[in-house]
Amino acid sequence: MAAQDFTSLLRSSTVDFDFYEALYRHFHSRPELSCQESQTAAKAASLLRSLNAGYEVQQSIGGHGLVGVLKNGAGKTVLLRADMDALPVKEDTGLEYSSKVTMRDNDGIDKPVMHACGHDFHVTALLAAAERLAKMKDSWSGTLIVLFQPNEERAGGAQAMVDDGLYDKIPVPDIVLGQHVMPQRTGYVGCRVGNIMSEADSFKITLYGRGGHGSMPHRTVDPVVMAVGVVTKLQTIVSREVDPDQFAVVTVGSLQAGQTENIISDRAEVRVNVRTQNHEVRNRVLASIRRIVKGECEASGATKEALIEETTKFPLSVNDEAVTAEVHKSFEAFFGDRFDPNTPCSTASEDYSIL
């Protein structure tokens, strides 16, 4: 189908925007943490079935993963994907439909929960697309798969669905398309050939000292001082070791040690997040982190070698040239000057490319 024909078809077919705005507010006010998206998945499954359009719905794939398959004759198989999970963030927007939800996370700690990354919008948009494409079945042929993925925020959902036999349960797609809302002008969209979202690696680093009373620091090996040294030196990796023409981010998002002010802890935990857009840069940054941690531990007299554990890993998202060229044609025809065909590669990360 030509891009212009597709654009005319879209403009002649509408959905009930009031319904989908209400649905978006529903999802926004009821966020669920990674691996706990049971109600979101159930709502999406119920709505797919209520379309009575022939979607074959399967649930509980790789956790709370959900797919709907709509077979419509010969043609390519296209998979559209939305992620469902929310973040452990307290919402302070003041919106009438703001989240008041708290949930217990995987560590057993009660956390406020918010859709701070737009997954509520992703789910709503995919359900609207599922309805719209079902109503337009006379105008296209092939197989449509709508996939609602759990646990994107912890980088585990896509792989879990694949490992749970996703492609034994549904047709293998020829094309996989994802989406992500971004902080930019309303109504504008962007895409690009090649790198579109960054690679990301996260670690928990445990530093081992010798605990004791705050009044006798000479009898201890203070892991807080050790951790501060590590954190300070990590900030020099990007500024002094990475080529200024290359992209890299090293963020320390958490430093935890001890429970009270007059006791020196025997260990400290530092959580580090790395973003890169080039495999060589990634390898150099990760090697530098290990070198700095080892060196600081030796300099501080650590009681044993630091433990570095990978907590999450997101692959680099790279858009296929031929598929992206077809997407660009349709976007340019529909959005006109509101479409950017060379949007910058995002510093954020996704596990969508695993699918």
Q: Give catalytic residue positions.
A: 85, 152
Residue type, 69: V
Question: Cβ distance 177 to 77 under 8 Å?
Answer: no
Q: Nearest to residue 355, comparing CAs of 72, 69, 152?
A: 152
- Residue appearing with tokens 């529909």: 334
- Name which of 223, 224, 68, 39 is nearest 131 in CA terms: 68
CB 351 within 8 A of CB 158: yes
Tracing tokens 């307290």 back to the chain, one arrives at 90
Rounded Cα gap, residues 212 and 87, in angstroms: 36
Separation of alpha carbons 344 and 340, rounded Å: 9
CA distance 270 to 228: 9
200: β partners: 275, 314
Token duo for residue 38: 């049971």
Number of CB atoms found within 10 A of residue 46's CB: 10
Q: How many of the other CB atoms lie within 10 Å of CB of 66? A: 28
Tokens read off for 23: 């649905």
